[in-house]
Amino acid sequence: MKKIKYFYAVLLFMLSLGFQSCFQDLDQDPPFDYPEQPTPPPLGADGQIFYLSFDKELEEYQSLMEAIPVGSPGFADGKTGKAYAGAANSYLTFNLSNLAAPLGNEVTFGFWYKLNGNPNRAGIIVIGPPTEGAAANMQNNRTSGIRIFRENDGDFQRIKANIGDGNADTWLDGGATTNLNPATADWVYIALVLRSLGATLYLNGEAIASSATFSGISWKGCDVMSIGSGAPRFTEWNHNSDNSLIDELRIYNKALTEEQIRANMTK
């Protein structure tokens, strides 16, 4: 009996030590130092609110949040470091609520792009509202948001943009000046600049399509950005996944000048 009592006494003593160790952070001096979560960098004077270099794969620099993969996108050698590599039925999404600052009425999108012409049309960067009541393959509400995409023009691929002001949409189509030859296409820099009045599409630092009468962007109903596809919000005309490469994707909450866009090309 004494041995049993001794055993239980030792057991209780060991348990008390275990509980003391588990909860020592509650009353120890100094308190237990939990690892801190990294702090997102402050926004700079240049207005950059989003930067996805793909060197850290899916982590976005300004928010430290990650883009969400759909399907099986990959990575490849980029313009600098690594780049996003598209694949069939694959793309990335990024919730706009995770942006380091909200999208306003003056915004610039810029990125490097290396064309893969198959399939012969695709979405590249899309932010749009849902088409309520329409099937997943019939989404095409263009009254707000932006759509940067490509379509075949004979043996070429033409880069275009479509933007919505809250009531209607405006097309930015530079014709043959935005055509890329899939057989010889190298890296090109695409930028879309939205102003409170007007919008311009740039290719390699040159303005190739513009609207002086565009009355300003609306983000009504827009909650997600798609990278490498028109899905899920721009699918009716088969602007689906893009097998091309995308690198150094940046968003600014200001309308960059042509000189600033060219400066970005040297970063």
pLDDT confidence of residue 148? 99
The yes-or-no verdict on residue 170 having pLDDT over 70 is yes
Q: Give the range of the structural domain holding residue 114, as residue numbers without chain letter.
A: 48-264
Examine residue 204 and state whether it is found in any structural domain, yes or no: yes
Average per-residue pLDDT for the chain: 91
pLDDT band at 38 (very low <50, low <70, confident <90, very high): confident
Q: Which residue has the higher pLDDT, 4 or 119?
A: 119
Give the whole-angstrom CA distance, residue 43 versus residue 49.
Answer: 7
Three-class DSSP category at 163:
strand
* 149 part of a folded domain: yes
Q: In this predicted model, which residue has the larger pLDDT, 71 or 17?
A: 71
Task: Compute the distance between CA of residue 150 and CA of residue 147 in angstroms, rounded to an integer.
Answer: 10
Q: What are phi and psi of 177, to 5 degrees?
A: -65, -15
Q: Are the C-beta atoms of 228 and 84 separated by less than 8 Å?
A: yes
Q: Is residue 197 in some structural domain?
A: yes
Domain count, the chain: 1
| Ranges 23-32, 86-95, 219-228: which has the least confidence | 23-32
What is d(CA 142, CA 34) in angstroms, rounded to the nearest whole number?
Answer: 47
Return the pLDDT at 4: 47
Q: Helix and strand tally (H, E) in the chain?
A: 2, 16
Cα distances (Å, whole numbers) of residue 188 to 91, 93, 246, 247: 20, 22, 10, 10
* Residue 87 belongs to some domain of the structure: yes
Residue 11 lies in a domain: no
Q: What is the CATH number of the domain that holds 234?
A: 2.60.120.200
Q: Determine, yes or no, domain membership for 135.
A: yes
> Collapsing DSSP states into helix, strand and coil, what is residue 177?
helix
- % of the chain with per-residue pLDDT over 70: 86
> Residues 205-258: pLDDT tens digits?
999 999 999 999 999 999 999 999 999 999 999 999 999 999 999 999 999 999
In angstroms, the CA 124 to CA 108 distance is: 15
Give residue 63's pLDDT: 97
Domain contains 205? yes
Q: Give one DSSP letter per residue of 37-69, joined into a string.
A: PPPPPPP-TT-EEEEE-STTTTB-TTT--BPEE
| Omega before residue 30 within 30° of 0, cis | yes
Is residue 17 scored above 50 in pLDDT?
A: no
